[in-house]
Every structure is written in C-alpha cells, then in structure tokens.
Amino acid sequence: MLERITGPRDLDALTPEECVELAADIREFLIAEVSKTGGHLGPNLGVVELTIALHRVFDSPNDPIVWDTGHQSYVHKILTGRKDFTDLRKRGGLAGYPQRSESVHDVVESSHASSSLSWADGISRAFASTGKQDRHVVAVVGDGALTGGMTWEALNNITDDNDRNLIIVVNDNGRSYAPTIGGMARFLNGVRVTGGYRDLQEGSERLFNNFGAAGRTVYRAARGALRGFVSRASGNQDLYANLDIKYVGPVDGHDLAAVEVALKQAKGYGRPALVHVITEKGRGYAPAVNDEADQFHAIGQINPDNGAPLSASSERGWTSVFREEIVALAHQHPKLVGITGAMLRPTGLDGFAQAFPQRVYDVGIAEQHAVTTAAGLAYGGLHPVVAIYATFMNRAFDQVLMDVGLHRAGVTFVLDRAGITGPDGASHNGVWDLAMLQIVPGIRIAAPRDEATLRETLGEAVVVEDAPTVIRYPKGSVGVPLPGLWRTEDGVDVLYAGEQTTAPAEGPLAVSADVLFVAVGPMTRTALDAAAILAEQGITSTVIDPRWVIPVMRSVIDLAATHRLVVSIEDGLRVGGVGTTIRQELREAGVDTAVSELGTPYEFLEHASRDELLEDAGLTAPQIAAEIVEQVHGTRLPAARPE
C-alpha cells in the first residue's frame, strides 16, 4: 500500500480496509528505517492513523497542518511524498522536524512546544480577513504541550472570535518525554480511564479539584458560569461552554474510521473546534510500548527485532556526571531543590528525584513558570537548580532577567546540550545562551571543560545566594580529563604555556607568548590542538580556561596584556558572545591587544553532525591555526595538518 502513496490525495481512493493496511505498512517502514538512523520513533508510531485521517479529511497544503511538536511529523512526511529516510537527520537528508525547504506541506519549523495554537490562531485570522473562507487550519498539539502557558493564552484568544475555520487536535497519549504532569493531565487521564465524561457538576468539579484547594475555591466561585462545561449526553458538546469552542471526543486515535468521523464533524462546524484523540505512544512495537521510561521517544540506532541499542557507548556523558553530582550535593545541602520542564530524565534530575522525591519539581513544558517559581523558592530560603536544555532557556529570558536577575535570587541554571547539537536542526542547537544570558546584570556563567570541572563549578554555583548562576555543557561524552598546569587567584586555569609546566617564579600571570587562547568549555580541546599546530610553525601560545567565563576575570585581562593576540573560542554565537565581552573589557582596561572572536555564525544552523557544523563555522583546530598564522605571519596553513 505504501508504494501507492506519492502525495496526500492518493489517500482519497483508498477503501477503509486499505487504509488499515496502509497504517500497518507505515509502522513497519518506521521501525525498519528509524532503527537504522535513530530518531523519534515512539511519537510517530502513535500518530499513524491520526495522520492518515488528517490528510484524508483536510487538503494540505491548502489546509495547513501545524505540528506541536514536530517530532511527530514522520508519518506526515511519508504521506506528502518523502519516503527516503536513508539519511534522516543527517546533512542532505530529511530533517527530523518539519522544514519548509523540504515541502510546501511543512508550515512551522520550530519545535519548541506549545506554540501551535498561536500559529493556527494567526493563520486562521489571516484567512478569514482575506476572504479565504474555504481554507481550514489544523493544529495538532500533544497533551504534553498543554502544560505550556502559551497554549492557554492562545486558546483564550481563539475562542474570542468564532468566525473562522480552525481545528485543534489534542493528541492525548499521557506523555511528553515522560508521563505528562499536572492537574489537566490528571483530568485527561480520567477521560481515558472512564471513556467519557460525567455530568456538568461532577466533571467540572473533578477538573478543578485536581488543582487542589485553590482550584476548589475557583470552582465554587465559577460554578454558575460553567454550566454546560462537560456533558456525557453528547460527545460533541462544548468543552468550555463559556469559551465557545466546540468539542468532539474522546476518540480512539487508532480507530481510523472514528477519527475521520470526528475530524469531519469538527470541520463542518465552521468555527473553532477541538478534537480529543487518545493515542498510544509506540503503538504496534512492543519494545517501545513496554519501555516505561520514555517509550522510545528518541532513539539511536537499534536492533529492530528487540529494540536493543546496536552500540552502547562506554564513555561517560555530561548528563550522567551531573546526575551523580547533583545527588551528592543534595546530601550535603538540604536546602537544594531541583526544577525541570518535562525533562526529568533527559537532564539527569531523575536521580535527584529518586533520592529526594519531595525536593524535585517537574512543572511540565512551562519554562517561564519554572524560572519564576525558582525565584520564589529562593526567596523562601531554598536554592533551586533549574535543569533544562540550553535551547529551551530562550523561552524564559524575561523571567531570568526580571524575576531572578533583578531580585538577585540564588538560582542555578544547568543547561544541558549547550552549543552545537547537530541532528535536531536549527531549533535545537543551543547556541544562544552565552550571548543571551550574559546581559543579565550580576549573572555568573560557567562552562566546564571536563568531568572534574563540571563537578567543581556545580559545587561552587549552588552556594551562591545573591545572584543567578549558570552551568552549561554540551551533548555527548565528557572525554578524557584535561588537568590544568596551575590556577590563578581568581580561578582561571592555565592549561598550556609552551615549555612552562609550572607557574613562573614571578607569579602565575608572568607568562607571555604570541597568542592567548581563551577557551570556553568543550572548545578547550580544540584550543590545545590548535596550539600544538602553531608550535610547529614557530608561533608560541598560551591556553587558558576561565571556567567561569562571565564575568571576565581580571587574570584574563592581565594575561591578554602580555600576548600579541587573544583568540576566544566558543561554540555559541560569536555575535555578542564571550569573546565580545572580553574585547570590551580589554578596551575598558586600556589593553590594546587584538582580539579574534571565534564562534558560531550569526544564522540558523541546518541539521548535520556536530563535527560538520563546527567545520562549517571554522571551529576546527587546523582552521583556527591557519587563520592565526595568516594574522601573525601573513601566510596561510593548508586546510589540514601535514602528514
């Protein structure tokens, strides 16, 4: 059946029985192909029937489909003519998320959750105001995304204007990365368990009871306004009668015929409608269904027969080091608490939660709320550690600035997957944090270079009570230890100084050379390799790791004064990055040493491997050495080191 599908309209000719056969074919295809490349397998196995039904009922791209989040769009790609998964998430191959350059059927590329309803709100308003009444907009939102406040802001506005064709599909599988949390999740879980809704009073009271005493107070005050809120008598009654949005469901998301009927019903209203579809993450693949941790949310290469990884890395990862160290620190510091946004296991806070379940809070996909909650926890006498991916820190900048920074709150942010991550593409590269966060007055940012410095800087961060602190590290292995030769009084490590292996007798800052490398976190290894290449060319250099890169330490300025050229290397934006701040600090200190600021380009990076993207950015040791030789001697090294 899959061979017959080259575009969405090929689905129109299929019988219901053929659609069921197609769904089975797609699942076999996904398991076979994604097991070779890695990717988001579990979420896509759960939306096979839903995606087929969407494309049979709606006319994409005339009727835009917005995926929230885009990791559940593999089936959509298959049905819109993209069946070559050979290089999924690799350079030149299919992106792991919707991508406009791939297809007109892809609308929204960013895969930061909870934004789909706002997109759909804007698109549908545009269609209505330009006379395109025949076009519909569909937002497919995972139930995990309902934990994000942006979803509810959008819903409030969507229901303010009913004269447009907008359908919200809630893909309810009870999970985001892990089981979805919160009062709304408990309410939806009750729907899944009972298979329907009870009467108005019981249903609405149950919803607000999930939010505790405050919720019960709100319910009593609003009981009259909620009349008609939920009705078991008819599945298509208003979910929120006072908001004027039509409700259809709950529908078995793996019953193709039922899903089609529900979508057609919603389409026929001519006003905003919500279709509640219950699905199973990992559907049809036992290893995924039986995986209680995340149901194969994102996998590497696996054996498709049993789901076992083809190669288990023996190298320690940054996340695993944090997982261990935060537990050790929690034993030492009883006021330490953890916060995350639906990423307990991916960030490594799960170990803390297992050891101290009452001291870790998962707030769902709600980073803004997480950060301001952390400010409140700090005010109350605790020290919160907010652990999220670096790319998701972007979502909470105002809260970091105004709620944490302005109030000098002792909050530690641990940013996993900082810098270039690679295969997940533009929205998931964590290259914005250094440029963005360092403008917060009083903030302190550390970029550990190895396991020892991660443990060390984390320990230093959690005792800072008068300012926000940040620990940022990349995805992957921590690599071999990189010990320092000596440390300055303000904590800067000197890692390489030519033949000098101990601090000079005149003092730790009595070092001079042609080039001073200021390396940020994982770029320390690159700086050391570049220094070795320069030594072969007769160019002397010093390599330092500030550990705490913001604020710029005084010893960095003093060392810069004894070198001809300062080269800062970071895997974050070079525009407004650490290098820019170093240059500004040198100018203010009256140090006229030239500064070369190396970092990622001022652009969105397409999906590719981390190594490929680093090379594109000129951030490999041979490339850096070649640029320095040109600056120092006016000549250029070959692209690679000579044999």
Separation CA 239–CA 225 (nearest Å):
13
Alpha helices in 114-197 (DSSP H): 116-129, 149-158, 183-194
Is 452 marked as binding a ligand?
A: no
Separation CA 603–CA 616 (nearest Å):
12
Question: Which position among 49, 205, 280, 367 bears the catalytic label?
Answer: 367
Amino acid occupying residue 176: S
- List b or e across 408-423, with b for residues whose CB sees 16 or more CB atoms inside 10 angstroms: ebbbbbbbbbbbbbbb
- Laid out side by side, the sheet with 137-142 consists of 65-68, 137-142, 166-172, 273-278, 246-252
Residues with Cβ within 8 Å of 517's Cβ and at least 6 positions away in sequence, in order, are 496, 527, 530, 531, 541, 542, 543, 544, 567, 568, 569
Is 111 marked as binding a ligand?
A: yes
Tokens encoding 371: 């950060």
C-beta of residue 528 within 8 angstroms of C-beta of residue 556 = no
Cβ count within 10 A of residue 270: 13
Give the long-range contacts of residues 334-337, CB within 8 A, separation 24 or more: 335/381, 335/382, 335/383, 336/382, 336/383, 336/385, 336/462, 337/361, 337/377, 337/382, 337/383, 337/384, 337/385
Question: Which position among 77, 82, 135, 281 bears the catalytic label?
Answer: 281
Separation CA 138–CA 140 (nearest Å):
6
Is 571 marked as binding a ligand?
A: no
Is 144 marked as binding a ligand?
A: yes
Dihedral, CA atoms, 360, 364, 369, 371, nearest 10 degrees? 50
Is 113 marked as binding a ligand?
A: yes
Is 640 marked as binding a ligand?
A: no
Tokens encoding 397: 């900048």
Question: Which position among 395, 417, 444, 610 bears the catalytic label?
Answer: 395
Is 143 marked as binding a ligand?
A: yes
Amino acid occupying residue 331: H
C-beta of residue 65 within 8 angstroms of C-beta of residue 119 = no
Q: Which residues pair with 597 in a beta bridge?
A: 568
Is 348 marked as binding a ligand?
A: no
Cis check: omega of the bond before 69, within 30 degrees of 0: yes
Catalytic residue flag (residue 205) = no
Catalytic residue flag (residue 606) = no
Catalytic residue flag (residue 367) = yes
**First-to-final CA distance of the chain:** 54
CA atoms within 13 A on the CB side of 176: 28
Tokens encoding 487: 């440390």
Tokens encoding 132: 């395109």
Residue 37, phi then psi, degrees to nearest 5? -110, -25
C-beta of residue 390 within 8 angstroms of C-beta of residue 419 = yes
C-beta of residue 474 within 8 angstroms of C-beta of residue 522 = yes
C-beta of residue 469 within 8 angstroms of C-beta of residue 518 = no
Q: How are the residues of the chain apportioned to helix, strand and coil, as percentages rounded to the nearest 5? A: 40, 15, 40
Separation CA 168–CA 277 (nearest Å):
10
Dihedral, CA atoms, 351, 357, 363, 365, nearest 10 degrees? 30
Which positions make up the binding site?
A: 71, 111-113, 143-145, 173, 285, 367
Catalytic positions: 281, 367, 395
Which positions make up the binding site for Mg(2+)?
A: 143, 173
Which positions make up the binding site for thiamine diphosphate?
A: 71, 111-113, 144-145, 173, 285, 367
